[in-house]
Amino acid sequence: MALVIRKIVADEYQRASEVVQTTFAHLAVQYQPPAGVATFTRLSTADEIASRDARHSVTYVALIQNVIIGVLQVRSSQHIAMLFVLPEMQSRGVGRALLKAAEHDAPLQTVNASLNSVMAYMRYGFMPSGADQISPSGIRFVPMQKG
């Protein structure tokens, strides 16, 4: 089964949202306060992802047999806004392949990582640049930048 990485097309936003929300619910939700869960739920809908792409973001998808298994959204060319790979497909190079595809277009510099993903981002070359914090919208994260 060949892994395909490419930019998202219009009719894929709903499936991309499902991948993001499923992965968040499985792995990251436990590290978020209730306000962060509510904010993330709103920000990860198909309409919100598409709206950001229409303004200032680019979303990439990872597919196997035409099924989306991973999603990466990059904001302002250099900031990772979302990186989610279905739990059963993690540790197989999907996240790294998504990052590599995005970096082909522009170097990725920063990410606000969920607590459960800090070690993964460190393997991708990012280092914490501040302490664990909570955004004004309630999302808990660790700021990281490319080392």
- Residue 112 is predicted with a pLDDT of 95
C-alpha dist (Å) from residue 77 to 10, 26, 107, 110: 20, 28, 8, 10
Where do the domains of the chain lie?
Answer: 3-106
∠ CA 132-135-136, rounded to 5°:
150
- Phi and psi (nearest 5°) for 124? -85, 0
Tokens of 11: 């009719």
- Residue 29 is predicted with a pLDDT of 67
- Residue 66 is predicted with a pLDDT of 95
Q: What does pLDDT average to in each consecutive run of 10 residues of the chain (147 residues)?
A: 93 96 79 80 93 96 96 94 92 94 94 93 96 91 93
CB 141 within 8 A of CB 113: yes
Q: Give 44-57 pLDDT, tens digit per residue.
A: 999 999 999 999 99
Residue 129 CA to residue 64 CA, distance in Å, equals 34
CATH classification of 3-106 is 3.40.640.10, yes or no? no
Neighbouring-strand partners of residue 145: 110, 127
Helices (H), 44-133: 46-55, 94-105, 118-123
Question: What's the whole-model pTM score?
Answer: 0.92
- Residue 36 is predicted with a pLDDT of 81
The secondary structure of 99-117 as a DSSP string is HHHHHHHS---EEEE-GGG
